[in-house]
Amino acid sequence: MKKRILIIGASGQIGSELTERLRKIYAPHKVIASDIREGNQELMESGPFEVLDAMDYSAIEDIVINYEISEVYLMAAMLSATAEKFPMKAWNLNMTSLFNVLNLAKEGKIEKIFWPSSIAVFGPSTPKINTHQNTITEPSTVYGISKLTGERWCEYYHKKYGVDVRSLRYPGLISYKTAPGGGTTDYAVEIYHKAIKHKKYISFLDKGTVLPMMFMDDAINATIGIMEAKSEEVKIRSGYNLAAISFGPEDIAASIKKHIPEFEIVYQPDFRQDIADSWPNSMDDSEARKDWGWAHTYDLDEMTEVMLENLQGSLRRTSE
Ligand code: AKB
């Protein structure tokens, strides 16, 4: 079968950049973007787009057959903060969409699946520093429960039915192109926007809340890296720990101040503090580095430079 890719959830924060990168690597017509809503101009104009509900098995199957899809990246999900507000909706979306693609692969209609897991599989009883791949996973959030359950099903489908499913435990992801939505780590994107516009940010996470984070370019490299790895190199079929940098709101504020000295941060923690407090501070991702050669590029200051430069650039362009 020739490589043809379907991205479900392509209009979201990860999906839009993943689509852009995959269209650059393969011919644009070989990468079908889909989402329940339309995405940004670049996404809509750079290749095929289909309106698709990730919960609708037959609609996914139709697209898979019509476009002769071989690989699916399932990026549609409800993230941690929104999931706490709508627990059953989050559970239904996160699990049904996963079963839809796992079952398509089980029936031999697709060859390979990428499904994102998260640091949210860990919980308050997990050791927080350099959290190991196989340590205690007792998540205390709906999102975390759905990710941990999903991981177990991915491994089950791989062992029982030979489904080639690959997964990463993403940390908080930071990007300037598409805004995140409904996550606990979203503050680390908002802060750059507010620093440029108002020179001030009111953080919904408290000082000292250190979380694992990553610049989007690195996350896209990791995602395509694990999908391109030889099947025998991918030894973990639940979800690989993935790490780059760890910092708290005061660290990112200090990094921004190097460019905008008058920037100030104020702390007003809300319900998302409890979610953040249940997650690790830093991750041990040595299995990913060893098995399929994962390596990150960006540290905090390099990321800040790219974020500020690009956000300032797009602000200048919209005000011209
Ligand atoms: C969230 O904050 O919910 C996500 C995640 C860490 O998976 N960014």
How far apart are the C-alpha atoms of 206 and 217, rounded to whole Å? 27
When pLDDT is cut at 50, 70 and 90, the band that residue 1 belongs to is low
How far apart are the C-alpha atoms of 83 and 77, rounded to whole Å? 9
Domain 5-172+214-241 fold: Rossmann fold (3.40.50)
Mean pLDDT, the chain, as a whole number?
Answer: 97
Instruction: Choose the CATH number for 173-213+244-319 among 2.40.10.340, 3.40.50.720, 1.10.10.10, 3.40.1010.10.
Output: 3.40.50.720
Ligand 1 neighbours, Cβ below 6 Å, are 79-80, 118-120, 143, 170, 172, 183-185
Task: Note whether 5-172+214-241 and 173-213+244-319 share their fold.
Answer: yes
All structural domains of the chain with their residue ranges: 5-172+214-241, 173-213+244-319
To the query of whether residue 143 is one of the catalytic residues in this protein, the response is yes
Give the distance (Å) from ligand 1 centre to CA of residue 218: 16
Question: Tens digits of per-residue pLDDT, 148-190?
Answer: 999 999 999 999 999 999 999 999 999 999 999 999 999 999 9
Residue from 173, 209, 216, 281 whose mutation best tests the ligand 1 pocket (most atoms within 8 A of CB): 173
pTM value? 0.97
- Give the burial class of 72: count Cβ atoms within 10 A of its Cβ; 0-12 exposed, 13-18 middle, 19 or more buried: buried
How far apart are the C-alpha atoms of 221 and 211, rounded to whole Å? 20
Residue with the smallest CA separation from ligand 1 atom 1 is 183
When pLDDT is cut at 50, 70 and 90, the band that residue 317 belongs to is confident
Question: Tens digits of per-residue pLDDT, 98-157?
Answer: 999 999 999 999 999 999 999 999 999 999 999 999 999 999 999 999 999 999 999 999
CA distances from 154 to 114, 227, 242, 312 (A): 10, 15, 17, 41
- Residue among 57, 67, 73, 143 flagged as catalytic: 143
Nearest Cα neighbor of 147 from 192, 180, 98 is 98
